[in-house]
């Protein structure tokens, strides 16, 4: 789903559920056999529960990270071999938005989603598509989301905080947590001085405990702050030097044309940090634990680290919690994957994610189908 549609939900909770939304009864685990050739497309279940799986669309085989791969899967995450994710030239674009599953305001149409099946949505995997006007390679994806998830551009070019949302955050050490809220953010973009001030409030769940404990501690701009990056260790309640310390848990900053919140994880840092959210503050403020939900189930797998991605982050392949149940529903979007943007003769594939739950009912096993397609110019 689009990141804007993740607001006020807890999307990663769906990773832990075993119920299936929009399933397929075909669990072919490879391609190239007669049955798939007759169908005109390839289909594969990728077991991405425990580690990233790298798929070559030409052969249908998974390969090593340093092998010849096009698309990588790790639970709900999908990456292309390009940019920040790999050394290839794989780029992508949306071929079919599946607009029929959404209403005029862009919200999912519950009746349409409930009635959608993998078989019924197969006709969207066509033989040819109009060539996209732009293609996208992979960049950094923050666990806190895009800046637009937690900040808003207002009058006079001033960017401020989005009210009434918050996050759960995992520390760099991976053993303590906090409930975090951006209480104030003041970035007057037209003054050319970077971020002017901020106030992030944390209520901490210490290592070895299961309870969030107040009162809140506050991370505000240091006295020598220059409008760029600032880092905080919520275990000690102290600002730390981003350049010389690995002990930070949350980084807030501005560089170039971007402003961001980072966790100490993935491409952002060497730690085991992560975040969950954004979550509506009215709901999040009732949480008593950052590691156990109201049903007594673990939230450990719900946290996301900073990672890399692009197309599948901006235009996601699923919706969540459509019937009040923490499960994931594929939207059957079709993505166009150019296997080598530097080679005009390289094949382009149409890819559709049709399921997330394996035949054992467990999550983290995306099922995809794909075919090589032709691109046409508009109107042809």
pLDDT tens, the chain, 380 aa long: 333 333 334 333 433 333 333 333 333 344 444 445 567 999 999 999 999 999 999 999 999 999 999 999 998 889 999 999 999 999 999 999 999 999 998 889 999 998 999 999 999 999 999 999 999 999 998 999 999 999 999 999 999 999 999 999 999 999 999 999 999 999 999 999 999 999 999 999 999 999 999 999 999 999 999 999 999 999 999 999 999 999 999 999 999 999 999 999 999 999 999 999 999 999 999 999 999 988 888 888 789 899 988 899 889 999 877 776 667 899 999 999 999 999 999 999 999 999 999 999 899 999 999 999 999 987 55
Nearest to 258 by CA among 113, 164, 159: 159
Separation CA 300–CA 129 (nearest Å): 41
Asked if 199 and 219 count as a contact pair (C-beta separation under 8 A), the reply is: yes
Q: Which residues contact 298 (CB under 8 A, 6 or more apart)?
A: 16, 291, 292
Query: What is residue 38's predicted lDDT score, i.e. its pLDDT?
Result: 67
Nearest to 97 by CA among 352, 340, 368, 354: 352
Query: What is residue 75's predicted lDDT score, i.e. its pLDDT?
Result: 87
What DSSP character marks residue 151?
Answer: E
Nearest to 150 by CA among 138, 140, 164: 164
**What are 18's two structure tokens?**
């075993």
In sequence order, the β-bridge partners of residue 72 are: 54, 79
Nearest to 276 by CA among 293, 253, 251, 252: 293
Phi then psi for 204, rounded to 5 degrees? -100, 140
Helix, strand, coil % (nearest 5) of the chain?
15, 35, 50
C-alpha distances in angstroms, 33 versus 40, 44, 53, 123, 209?
Answer: 11, 12, 21, 21, 52
Query: What is residue 324's predicted lDDT score, i.e. its pLDDT?
Result: 63
Q: Where are the domains of the chain?
A: 3-138+310-376, 145-305
C-alpha distances in angstroms, 359 versus 18, 37, 150?
Answer: 10, 23, 37
């Amino acid at each position: 789903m689009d990141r804007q549609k993740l607001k006020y939900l807890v999307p990663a909770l769906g990773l832990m559920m075993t119920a299936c939304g929009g399933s397929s009864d075909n669990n072919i685990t490879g391609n190239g056999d007669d049955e798939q050739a007759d169908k005109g497309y390839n289909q594969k279940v990728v077991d991405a529960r425990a580690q990233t799986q790298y798929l070559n669309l030409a052969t249908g085989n998974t390969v090593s990270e340093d092998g010849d791969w096009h698309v990588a899967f790790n639970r709900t995450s999908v990456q292309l071999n390009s940019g920040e994710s790999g050394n290839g030239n794989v780029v992508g674009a949306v071929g079919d938005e599946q607009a029929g599953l959404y209403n005029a305001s862009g919200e999912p149409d519950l009746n349409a989603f409930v009635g959608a099946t993998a078989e019924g949505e197969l006709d969207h995997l066509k033989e040819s598509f109009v060539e996209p006007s732009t293609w996208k390679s992979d960049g950094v994806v923050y666990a806190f989301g895009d800046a637009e998830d937690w900040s808003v551009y207002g009058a006079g070019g001033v960017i401020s905080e989005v009210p009434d949302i918050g996050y759960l955050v995992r520390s760099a050490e991976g053993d303590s947590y906090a409930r975090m809220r951006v209480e104030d953010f003041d970035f007057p973009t037209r003054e050319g001085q970077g971020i002017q001030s901020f106030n992030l409030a944390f209520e901490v769940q210490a290592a070895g405990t299961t309870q969030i404990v107040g009162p809140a501690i506050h991370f505000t701009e240091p006295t020598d702050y220059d409008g760029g990056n600032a880092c905080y260790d919520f275990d000690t309640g102290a600002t730390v030097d981003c350049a010389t310390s690995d002990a930070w848990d949350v980084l807030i900053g501005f560089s170039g044309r971007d402003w961001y919140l980072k966790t100490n994880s993935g491409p952002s840092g060497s730690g085991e940090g992560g975040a969950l959210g954004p979550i509506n503050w009215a709901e999040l403020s009732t949480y008593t634990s950052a590691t156990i939900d109201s049903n007594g189930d673990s939230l450990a797998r719900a946290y996301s680290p900073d990672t890399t991605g692009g197309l599948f982050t901006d235009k996601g392949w699923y919706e969540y919690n459509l019937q009040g149940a923490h499960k994931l529903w594929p939207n059957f979007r079709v993505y166009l994957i150019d296997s080598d943007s530097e080679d005009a003769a390289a094949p382009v594939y149409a890819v559709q994610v049709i399921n997330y739950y394996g035949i054992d009912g467990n999550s983290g096993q995306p099922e995809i189908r794909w075919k090589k397609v032709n691109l046409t110019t508009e109107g042809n």
